[in-house]
Amino acid sequence: MRRPFVAGNWKMNGTRDGAKRLAAGVAEGVSGLEGVDVAVCPPYVFIPEVAQVLEGTKVAVGAQDVAKEQQGAYTGEVSGGMLKEFACRYVIVGHSERREYYCEDDALVAEKFASAQRDGLLPILCVGEKLEDREAGRTEDVVRDQLEAVLDRNGISAFAEAVIAYEPVWAIGTGRTATPDQAQEVHRFIRDLLSAADAEVAAGVRILYGGSVKAANAAELFAMPDIDGGLIGGASLDVAEFTTICRSAAV
């Protein structure tokens, strides 16, 4: 059985003190909660102190991005090895905001996925279609291309040590959530696509849903058979919202 997983993507929000308070609140809110893995992904600069706050708790730390290179003259970049030194376990790769605002294409995302794994991090690979893709009936084509770029570069076995997040771009930060059936349909498609390469890996990989998940809609999404938890943006900045979402995912 797949163990549910809820990860909070704090994006570029908060202050140094606020980040520590938020981390402490989440840790307290989910302490003793069984049957779900929980992580938060703060901005890079807050990671060391957040990791300290979370040490010995059930909440893991992740980053929001990683360089494809391991070290060297790459101004502004942060490597997987550096993240690992600060107790990061996960890293988000291919978030739609990185694809959209920082021109990350499928090939670069596939390299970042490889780089994360090379340094012992678990990538959370984000895929998802834009509204115009969905309206033109191209959802599966877009998601297939995004996944195949990573599959071709890294092989199916790489997905045994990874998490996927299906995040329809039109649902991110918009308050417009995919219906449980809409999300399930794409999650099933992703699992079937991986299954064609390796049924066991496909059955084991956790596929999170992301896109305006809130305490009020989490349970119905997580009840779907191929939805294994959530990647949470806005609602992860609120302790009560986020911990309620974590509780909805626990089995």
Q: Any idea which residues carry the catalytic annotation?
A: 95, 167
- CB-wise, 201 or 241, nearer to ligand PEP? 241
Place of tokens 């069984």: 34
Which pair of structure tokens corresponds to residue 177?
């959530």
Determine the interface stretch with ligand PEP among 110-118, 151-159, 178-186, 229-237 (rule: CB under 6 A).
229-237
CA distance 73 to 64: 21
Number of residues that bind ligand PEP (CB under 6 A): 13
- Provide the minimum distance between the beta carbon of 5 and ligand PEP in the complex, in angstroms, as a whole number: 14
Place of tokens 């010995």: 56
Query: With binding defined as CB under 6 A, does residue 234 bind ligand PEP?
Result: yes
Query: With binding defined as CB under 6 A, does residue 232 bind ligand PEP?
Result: yes
Residue type, position 209, single letter: Y
- Residue from 211, 226, 238, 249 in contact with ligand PEP (CB under 6 A): 211
CA distance 45 to 67: 15
Determine the interface stretch with ligand PEP among 102-110, 116-124, 136-144, 226-234 (rule: CB under 6 A).
226-234
3-class SS string, 65-131: CCCCCCCCCCCCCCCHHHHHHCCEEEEEECCHHHHHHCCCCHHHHHHHHHHHHHCCCEEEEEECCCH
- Provide the minimum distance between the beta carbon of 211 and ligand PEP in the complex, in angstroms, as a whole number: 5
Binding site for ligand PEP (CB under 6 A): 9, 167, 172-173, 210-213, 231-235
